[in-house]
Amino acid sequence: MRDYPLLRMNIYQPRILRFDSIASTNLEAVKRAVEGASEGLCIVASEQTAGRGRLQRQWISPKGAGLYFSILLRPRIDQSAWPLITLMASLAVHDALLEACSLRTDIKWPNDILANNRKLCGILAETTETAATGEKSDIPKRAVILGIGINLTSAALLPDLLDSATSVESATGKEPDLEVVLQALIRALERHYMTLQSSRGLEEIIRAWSERSSYAQGKRISVSNGDVILEGTTRGLESDGALRLETATGEIRLVRAGDVTAVRASSV
Ligand code: BTN
């Protein structure tokens, strides 16, 4: 078996750097990746003052209200398969919340975690490279930083997001223990990352994602990407993680980016 440093990480002594307050755990992990940190490094903060979301949005991160977590990975899979890394991360969050909080969530393509159709967790993947040192090494220079923000308590929710966002506390009626969620998350990430990098790992991640997401098949959705809005019914994932969408004319379009919204069937 190939050597995976992430898997050598002892879960009871994980390489976790903790911050009371930080601008963004992703920014810190990017900085450390550029300096050459090895994969498996985790950054956790109680609060972020400049949390980053997808599409240049902010991720509001009040103290103690959420899990603000980033992990550094140096994947050995072909770069064409890198979109599957965020699908893998969404599987890990799904499984961690089930294990740690008995909460069964849904996954909205590509990687938003929902409870009661409201967003509970967002995932932001950023890529970087170790700065050149001139030294030869077979450790990949390219790195992916997976940033995961889970709303643990209702204090994480801005009043104007109450219709579209939720927290573990609101969904379960119980305030979760951050450490229990964190440890379950790291274990689940290790498991699914090992699968992703195994032979037939890509198919396995697609299969596991499709099993856990109501968005995989037969869901009426609209996808907005800049000025373009596409509507249709989902028809599974391509091998690179793209979402197959059947439009009203029966044409299959492949969606690789954009904001997905479920469309309610109109009552007649
Ligand atoms: C999204 O917009 O859905 C992605 C949100 C990702 C937020 C997390 S919180 C921890 C990590 N650090 C950041 O600055 N962002 C990610």
pLDDT tens per residue across span 10-44: 444 459 999 999 999 999 999 999 999 989 999 99
Report the separation in Å between the CA atom of 53 and the middle of ligand 1, taken as the mean of its atom positions: 5
pLDDT at residue 3, as a whole number: 47
**pLDDT classification of 264: cutoffs 50, 70, 90:** confident
CB count in 10 Å sphere of residue 42: 21
pLDDT at residue 5, as a whole number: 52
Instruction: Provide residues with CB under 6 Å of ligand 1.
Output: 24-26, 48, 51-54, 57, 59, 68-70, 122-124, 147-149
Q: Is the pLDDT of residue 222 over 60?
A: yes
Model pLDDT for residues 186-202, shown as the tens digit of each residue: 999 999 999 999 999 99
42-48 and 16-22 beta bridge pairing: parallel
Query: In testing the pocket of ligand 1, which one of 48, 59, 158 has its CB within 8 Å of the most ligand atoms?
Result: 59
pLDDT at residue 9, as a whole number: 53
User: For residue 110, is the peptide bond before it cis, meaning its omega torsion is within 30 degrees of 0?
Assistant: yes
For the full predicted model, state whether its pTM sits above 0.75. Answer: yes
112-115 and 106-108 beta bridge pairing: antiparallel
Report the separation in Å between the CA atom of 110 and the middle of ligand 1, taken as the mean of its atom positions: 14
Structural tokens at position 58: 């902010």
Q: In which residue are the tokens 């700065």 written?
A: 131
Mean pLDDT of the chain, nearest integer = 91
Q: Is the pLDDT of residue 250 over 80?
A: yes
pLDDT at residue 11, as a whole number: 43
Query: In testing the pocket of ligand 1, which one of 41, 44, 68, 259 has its CB within 8 Å of the most ligand atoms?
Result: 68
Closest ligand 1 atom, CA of 24? Answer: 14
- Distance CA(155)–CA(65), nearest Å, equals 6
Structural tokens at position 102: 């008995």
Average pLDDT in the 56-84 region? 94
